[in-house]
Each structure stands twice: as C-alpha cells, then as structure tokens.
Structure 1
Amino acid sequence: MSLAGLPPLVDSGTQLLILGSFPGVASLTRQQYYAHPRNLFWPLLADLLGRPMVDLPYAQRLQALQDAHIGVWDVYASCRREGSLDSAIREAVPNDLRGLVARLPALAGIAHNGAASAREMRVTGTLGLPVWRLPSTSPANAGQSRAHKRAAWAAALQACGIAVRPLADAGAPPALR
C-alpha cells in the first residue's frame, strides 16, 4: 500500500531538525509524529527539556518543541509498507531535505532518529551542518538503555544551543537516572 508522510514541523527559529524515517501506523492514523504510546520520543524530550509534554494535547507538544527550537520531519515523503517496521519500507521517495534546510536560517544541526533515517546521512552530510545518528526512540529499539539514549540525544541538543536539563535534577524520572 502506498503511504504519504506528514508535513515538516519547523519554523524560522528551528535550530535542530530531528529526522525520523517514516511515520508508523499509529502516527499516520492520528496524523501525529511519534504517536505510538511506547515510543520514547515525547518522554525523552520532556525529560531533556524539563517540560511536561507527554500528557499535553498534541498541539501543545508541538508548541513546546517550537519553543525549544526543535523541528521534526522524516527522510521519506512516501513509501510502500505493511505495518510500521522500517525494514518493511519499500519504494521510498525521499523528502526534499536540501530544500527544507535552505529555508531554516537558524538551523545548527540535523539529528537522525535511528538507523533507517541515518541511511540518508549521505544527503544530510552534504548540507554543511553537523549531523548525528541518534539511538532510535522506537519501541523496536529496546536493546539500548534509556540512559544511553538520553546521553546521546542530550549531546545533540546541547551542540545546537538547546538547553538540556541535567540528569541529576530531582525531577528526573527514576528510569532515566
């Protein structure tokens, strides 16, 4: 089945662009990035930014990302895929990453959320910005600890000038300490 992705969530103040591969079934159904309840994207960013994003309505989560100067998009505009696994992506059509980056004057870096997205580092690596391959927040990536994911994501955010709440803060969830 041919599927179309979601639009970019960016503005002129975006300093870090986080790129996934392609939205999963839950995200496409709800028309929301990282809508699967076990995906760590929202809990991880809530922890890093020190903002209670997880239980907020989607529009308010997007505003929190915008306030933090974080944008979100995917490397693929469309594809054929049964289910949600990146390994099932076929006939992927890439998004115009070069065109989007050209419209983001404050952009300081690009972070790929997982290995499937990072396959497009051959493109993003030519855009003149730092590029990171971050551990996937997908529930399929259960082999890496939350602490490992947090540290890698924190480094990318900080490198782009985005303030990150220290791990030792009393408010950090125990699972992330």
Structure 2
Amino acid sequence: MNPISGFPPIATERARVLILGSMPGLASLNAGEYYAHPRNQFWPIVCRLLGIDALLPYESRLNALNDNGIAVWDVIKDCSRSGSLDSGIVKQTIVPNDFVIFFQRHPSIRSVFFNGATAENLFRKFYLTTTLKVCDDIRNYRRLPSTSPANAALSLERKLEIWKLILN
C-alpha cells in the first residue's frame, strides 16, 4: 500500500464556506482534480446550486466556487489507502491538514460542511478535540450526505435539497 497525498485547498481570502472531504479518490488523484470520478455527484450538485454548466472546464468550475465564496479541501493531507473508499484508509497513517493555519488565513469562513461522515469524524478527532476551544469557535459545522458514488442511499434530488445549505 503506497502513501498518498491530497491536494492544496481551493480557497480565496473571501471564502465564507468550506466544504471538506476526507481524501481524494484514485480518479481524482490521477486527474489532479477534486471530485473527478464521473459518478461522484459533487460537481452536478454544486453546479446546479450555483447555476453553472457542470460541463465547464475544471478551472471555470473552481472560479465559480471562488466567486461564490466557497472553499474546498480535505481533512487528510497524507495517508495510506487501498482503493478509493474511505474504509480503505489505514487510520494509523493519517496526517491531517493544518486547519489552524488555514482558518487564520481564511477568517471569513463561518460555515464548514462535511462531504460525508468520514470527513466530519476525522475533522472532529484531529481538529475540534485537539486544537480548538469549542466555546471560542464561531463557525457552524454541518454534515452533508456524501456525494461519493458509494453513497447511493439518497437520490441526487434529495442530496441537492440538503446541499442547498451551502448557499446560506
């Protein structure tokens, strides 16, 4: 099992919303793009919410996120994993991203949305319980249904309804 590294954040200083995944899957790592798996519903959902064409080039979609104050990153910086599923992550190998520095550089972020349970659980383990006085935190945290193709429990339309929260 080879170690893998995630991507840098997609964020501007104007970001007010952060969407956190766990670690890019193999399709994303191979493409060098967030949420590159063709069946991942992240881009179809976000593009519908922002009113943009999901077939736009990747850079144009990133610009739309930035224009709308939405940042994207992952909880994990480095780890070992077999396959693409979160269940394949070797927990002992996880190196989390540095959210202390990230939030210092992006003080306008007031809402953090987790793209699934693994992202939320890891963030809470590595960040909220170790480096933050929860009473001093002014951000809102909310788990959204995972956009992964492995999460087929909800329809695209139902996920879209829930993901509208990122626009508030």
TM above 0.5:
yes
What is the deviation of 1:100?
0.3
Query: Is it true that 1:121 corresponds to 2:131 in the alignment?
Result: no
Say which is worse superposed, 140-149 or 4-13, in terms of deviation: 140-149
Partner residue in 2 for 1:47 = 48
Structure 2 unaligned residues grouped into runs of 5+: none
Deviation string for 1:58-109 (max 9, x for gaps)? 1111101101110000000010011100001111111011210111122121
1:166 aligned residue: none
Give the 3-state SS of the residue equivalent to 1:155 in structure 2: helix
* 1:143 pairs with 2:140: no
Q: Provide the rounded CA distance (Å) in 2 between the counterparts of 1:55 and 1:115.
A: 28
1:8-61 alpha-carbon deviations (Å, 9 max, x no partner)? 110101010000000000111111000000000000011111111x21111111
**Superposition RMSD on alpha carbons, in Å?**
1.3
Alignment of 1:10-159 (within 5 A): 10-52=11-53, 54-90=54-90, 91-119=93-121, 120-122=123-125, 123-124=127-128, 126=134, 127-158=137-168
**In structure 1, the residue corresponding to 2:19 is in which secondary structure?**
strand
The amino acid across from 2:108 in the alignment is A
Gaps of 5+ in 1: 159-177
Residues 86-145 of structure 1: per-residue CA shift (max 9 Å, x gap): 001111111011210111122121001001101023535834300011100000001112
**TM value normalised by structure 2:** 0.89
1:94 partner amino acid: P
Counterpart of 1:131 in 2: which secondary structure? strand
Give the TM-score taking structure 1 as reference length: 0.84
Q: Among the aligned pairs, what percent are the same residue?
A: 45
Structure 1 runs (4+) deviating above 6 angstroms are none
Q: 1:137 aligns to what SS in structure 2? A: coil
Paired positions, count: 157
Please state how far the C-alpha of 1:148 moved relative to its aligned partner. 2.3
**Kept in 2: contact 1:132–1:156 (CA 8 A):** no
Counterpart secondary structure, 2:94: strand
Higher helix share: 2
Q: Distance in 1 between matches of 2:144 and 2:124?
A: 12
CA contact (8 A) 1:20 1:74 kept: yes
